[in-house]
Amino acid sequence: MALYKLALLAAAAAFAQAEPATNVRRDAPSGSAAWVAAHSSAAAALAKMSQQDKVNIVTGVGWNKGPCVGNTPAISSVNYPQLCLQDGPLGVRYASSATAFTPGIQAASTWDISLMRQRGEYMGAEAKGTGVHVLLGPVAGPLGKIPNGGRNWEGFGVDPYLTGIAMAHTIEGMQSSGVQAVAKHFIANEQELNRDSMSSNIDDRTMHELYLWPFADAVHSNVASAMCSYNKLNGSWACESDKGLNGLLKTELGFRGYVMSDWDAQHTTTGSANNGMDMTMPGSDYNGGTILWGPQLNTAVNNNQVSTARLNDMAQRILAAWYLLGQNAAGYPSINLNANVQGNHKDNVRAVARDGIVLLQNDGLLPLKKPAKIALVGSAAVVNPSGMNSCNDRGCNNGALGMGWGSGAVNYPYFVAPYDALKTRTQTDGATLTLYSSDGTSGVASAVTGADIAIVVITADSGEGYITVEGNMGDRQNLDPWHNGNQLVQAVAAANKNTIVVVHSVGPVILETILATPGVRAVVWAGLPSQENGNALVDVLYGLVSPSGKLVYTIAKQAADYGTKLVSGDDSFTEGLYVDYRHFDNAKITPRYEFGFGLSYTNFTYSGLTTLMTATAGPATGATVPGGAADLWDTVGAVTATITNSGGVTGAEVAQLYLTLPASAPATPPKQLRGFAKLSLAPGASGTATFTLRKRDLSYWDSARQQWVVPAGTFGLSVGASSRDIRLTGSFQVGSGGTVSSTTSTSKTSTPTSSTKLSTSTTSKASTSSTTTSSTTTPPTTTSTRTSSTTSTTSASSGGCTAARWAQCAGIGYTGCTTCAAPYTCQYGNDWYSQCL
Ligand SMILES: *[C@@H]1O[C@H](CO)[C@@H](O)[C@H](O)[C@H]1NC(C)=O
Ligand SMILES: *[C@@H]1O[C@H](CO)[C@@H](O)[C@H](O)[C@H]1NC(C)=O
Distance 544 CA to ligand 2 centre (A): 19
Q: What is the CB < 6 Å shell around ligand 1?
A: 201, 203-204, 233-234, 241, 243-244
Distance 245 CA to ligand 1 centre (A): 13
**770: confidence class by pLDDT, cuts 50, 70, 90:** very low
Q: What is the mean pLDDT of residues 753-761?
A: 32
* Domains located in the chain, CATH noted: 3-15+600-778+793-836 (2.60.40.10), 18-324 (3.20.20.300), 346-553 (3.40.50.1700)
| C-beta of residue 577 within 8 angstroms of C-beta of residue 798 | no
Rounded to 5 degrees, what are φ and ψ at 548?
A: -140, 10
pLDDT at 87: 97
Give the β-pairing of 199-200 and 232-233. parallel
pLDDT at 815 over 90: no
pLDDT at 190: 98
DSSP 622-687: PPEETTEEGGGGSEEEEEEEEEEE-SSS-EEEEEEEEEE--TTSPS--S-EEEEEEEEEE-TT-EE
| C-beta of residue 168 within 8 angstroms of C-beta of residue 119 | no
Note the pLDDT tens digit of each residue in 715-745. Answer: 999 999 999 999 999 999 999 765 454 555 6
pLDDT at 582: 98
pLDDT at 834 over 70: no
Q: Whose CA is nearest to atom 6 of ligand 2?
A: 756
pLDDT at 17: 35
Q: What is the CB < 6 Å shell around ligand 2?
A: 602-603, 647-648, 752, 756, 758, 760
Distance 255 CA to ligand 1 centre (A): 20
Which residues are catalytic, by number? Answer: 262
Q: How far apart are CA 114 and CA 111, in angstroms?
A: 9
| C-beta of residue 173 within 8 angstroms of C-beta of residue 121 | yes
Q: What is the mean pLDDT of residues 434-446?
A: 97
Note the pLDDT tens digit of each residue in 57-70. Answer: 999 999 888 999 99
* CA-only gyration radius of the chain, Å: 26
Query: Please, what is the end-to-end C-alpha distance for the chain in angstroms?
Result: 28
Note the pLDDT tens digit of each residue in 521-535. Answer: 999 999 999 999 999
Q: Whose CA is nearest to atom 4 of ligand 1?
A: 203
Q: How far apart are CA 380 and CA 459, in angstroms?
A: 7
pLDDT at 743: 55
Q: What is the DSSP letter of 571?
A: B
Lowest mean pLDDT among 124-128, 351-355, 478-482, 735-739: 735-739
Note the pLDDT tens digit of each residue in 279-337. Answer: 999 999 988 889 999 999 999 999 999 999 999 999 999 999 999 999 999 999 999 99
Percent of the chain with pLDDT over 70: 84
| CA–centroid distance for 713 within its chain | 32
Atom of ligand 2 nearest to the CA of 647: 14
Q: Whose CA is nearest to atom 1 of ligand 1?
A: 234
pLDDT at 64: 85
Burial grade of 13 (CB within 10 A; 0-12, 13-18, 19 or more) = buried
Higher pLDDT, 410 or 2: 410
Note the pLDDT tens digit of each residue in 566-599. Answer: 999 999 999 999 999 999 999 999 999 999 999 9
- Mean of per-residue pLDDT scores for the chain: 87
CB within 8 Å of 526: residues ≥ 6 apart: 353, 357, 502, 503, 504, 533, 536, 537, 540
Q: What is the mean pLDDT of residues 802-816?
A: 33
pLDDT at 32: 85
pLDDT at 825 over 60: no
> Among 359, 727, 755, 762, which is best to mutate for testing ligand 2, by the most ligand atoms less than 8 A from CB?
755
Considering every ligand atom shown, identify the ligand nearest to the alpha carbon of residue 602 and give its number: 2
Distance 759 CA to ligand 2 centre (A): 7
Distance 234 CA to ligand 1 centre (A): 6
pLDDT at 742: 53
pLDDT at 373 over 90: yes
Note the pLDDT tens digit of each residue in 151-181. Answer: 999 999 999 999 999 999 999 999 999 999 9
Considering every ligand atom shown, identify the ligand nearest to the alpha carbon of residue 603 and give its number: 2
Give the β-pairing of 453-460 and 373-377. parallel
Considering every ligand atom shown, identify the ligand nearest to the alpha carbon of residue 604 and give its number: 2
Distance 187 CA to ligand 1 centre (A): 13
Percent of the chain with pLDDT over 90: 83
What does each C-alpha distance from 643 to 578, 651, 656 come to in angstroms?
30, 12, 11
pLDDT at 744: 57
pLDDT at 534: 98
> Among 601, 649, 756, which is best to mutate for testing ligand 2, by the most ligand atoms less than 8 A from CB?
756
**837: confidence class by pLDDT, cuts 50, 70, 90:** very low
Q: What is the mean pLDDT of residues 184-206?
A: 98
pLDDT at 823 over 50: no
- Using DSSP's 3-state secondary structure scheme, residue 527 falls into coil
pLDDT at 464 over 90: yes
> Among 650, 727, 758, which is best to mutate for testing ligand 2, by the most ligand atoms less than 8 A from CB?
758
pLDDT at 618 over 80: yes
**747: confidence class by pLDDT, cuts 50, 70, 90:** low
pLDDT at 378 over 50: yes
